[in-house]
Structure 1
Amino acid sequence: MLKLENISYKVDNRVIINDLNLKIEKGDTIAIIGPSGSGKSTLLRLISNLISPTQGELYLNGKAYNQINPERLRMDISYLLQESDLFDRTIGENLAFPSIARGDKFDRKKAKSLLKAVGLGHYHFNTRVERLSGGERQRITIARQLMYTPKMLLLDEATSALDTENSENIERIIFKLAEEGISVLWITHSNNQSMRHFKKRIRLVDGKIEKEEHLR
């Protein structure tokens, strides 16, 4: 599905990703671990096409990134940042944004279902997001990201602001999607989290894959 071939990324004289090769198949679930500054977030930014490699090529279903419409890539590869990225408006306006961006009708039924799934079903669409806690805002961000089902979901410490119960609830939602064929790459600093559910665990050090484990 996705192939990274001899990917490097440099800023000035600093090498952040160093000649990295990786294949990700449909339905793969991969935990990405490693020390701070090892290039984990940069790797996801490259895969999501937010930045371009200074060397090497990325391919999605055999087609090079530069041959794919960027809008199409953004729909196929969804990137969930570590910090919640909400508009300071209502929950409903945030959940409706993906449909507005696509020119589609807002699926209120799905939005309500996702709100309930992330444990926020007691809130209304007209609730202002500034009333929410940091963890609740992050769960709204996750629900918004899942309004449309991508081919690949990239998560950067997506549950770091959540308590154990809500974190595990989000994991259940994400890995249910993986069972349906979505590929998942998840940066985590939690050793326990990296050992749950995932098929593989990759340790990144100095922009290189130091170790790749098959967990199941």
Structure 2
Amino acid sequence: MLELRNVSYQIDNRKIIQEINLKIESGETIAVVGPSGSGKSTLFRLINNLISPTQGELYLNGDAYETINPEELRMEVSYLLQESDLFDRTIGDNLAFPANIRNDKFNRKRAKALLKAVGLGHYNFNTSVSHLSGGERQRITIARQLMYKPKILLLDEATSALDIHNSEKIESLIFKLADEGVSILWITHSNDQSMRHFQKRIRIVDGQIEKEEDLR
């Protein structure tokens, strides 16, 4: 489904990503680990087409990234950042945003189901996000990201602000998507989390894949 061929990224003379080769199949789940500053988030920005490689090629279903409309590509490859980036309005406004940018109808039934799945079913669409805690805001961000099912879901420390109970809720929701064919790449600094659910674990050090483990 997704393939990186000799992908590198550098700024001036500093190589941040160095000749990464990686194949990700439909429904595959991969934990991405490594020290801070090793290039993990830059790798995700490349996969999400937020930046372009200075060397190498990325392919989605055999098509080179440069031949795919950028907006279409980002709908297929969804990137959930570590920080909450909600609009300072209501829960409903935030959950409706993905439909608005697609000129589509807001699926209220799916939105309610996702709110319940992330443990926020007691709130309604008119609740202002300004009243929510940091962990609740993060869960709303996750629900918004999942209003449409992508082909590939990138998560960068997506449960960092959550307690164990709510983190496990989110993990359950995310890995059900993998059962439906969504490929999951998840940056985590939790060794326990990186060993749960995942089929593979790759360790990135100094912009290179130092180790790739099969956890199946």
Return the TM-score normalized by structure 2: 0.99
> Which blocks of at least 5 consecutive residues in structure 1 are unaligned?
none
**What amino acid is aligned across from residue 191 of structure 1 in structure 2?**
N
CA distance in structure 1 between the partners assigned to 2:132 and 2:12 by the alignment:
40
* 2:21 matches 1:21: yes
Superposed, 1:171-210 pairs within 5 Å as 171-210=171-210
Aligned twin of 1:100: 100
Aligned-partner SS, 2:105? coil
2:153 alignment partner AA: L
CA separation in 2, counterparts of 1:187 and 1:24?
Answer: 15
3-state SS in 2 of match to 1:51: coil
Q: Which stretches of structure 1, 4 residues or longer, exceed 2 Å deviation after superposition?
A: none
Identity %: 78
| Paired residue type of 2:117 | A
Q: How does 1:1-216 map to 2 (within 5 A)?
A: 1-216=1-216
Q: How far is 1:17 from its partner?
A: 0.1
Query: Over aligned residues, Cα RMSD in angstroms?
Result: 0.4
Q: Secondary structure at the match of 2:178?
A: helix
Counterpart residue identity of residue 164, structure 2: T
Q: For 2:119 and 2:151, how far apart are their aligned partners in 1?
A: 24
Q: Distance in 2 between matches of 1:13 and 1:185?
A: 28
Structure 2: 5+ residue runs without aligned partners? none
The one-letter amino acid paired with 1:101 is: I
Q: What letter corresponds to residue 149 of structure 1 in structure 2?
A: K
Give 1:12 shift: 1.5
Counterparts of 1:109 and 1:63 in 2: how far apart (Å)?
34
Q: Secondary structure at the match of 1:99?
A: helix
Q: What secondary structure is seen at the aligned counterpart in 2 of 1:166?
A: helix
Q: Take 1:92 and 1:143, find their aligned partners in 2: how far apart are those partners?
A: 11
**How far 1:71 moved relative to its partner?**
1.1
1:4-30 deviation line (CA, Å, top 9, x unaligned):
000000011111000111000101100
Q: Size of the alignment, in residue pairs?
A: 216
Q: Report the 3-state secondary structure (helix = DSSP H, G, I; strand = E; otherwise coil) of the residue aligned with 1:111.
A: helix
Determine the C-alpha separation between the residues in 2 that align with 1:10 and 1:108: 43
SS at match of 1:15: strand
CA–CA separation in structure 1 for the residues paired with 2:17 and 2:130:
37
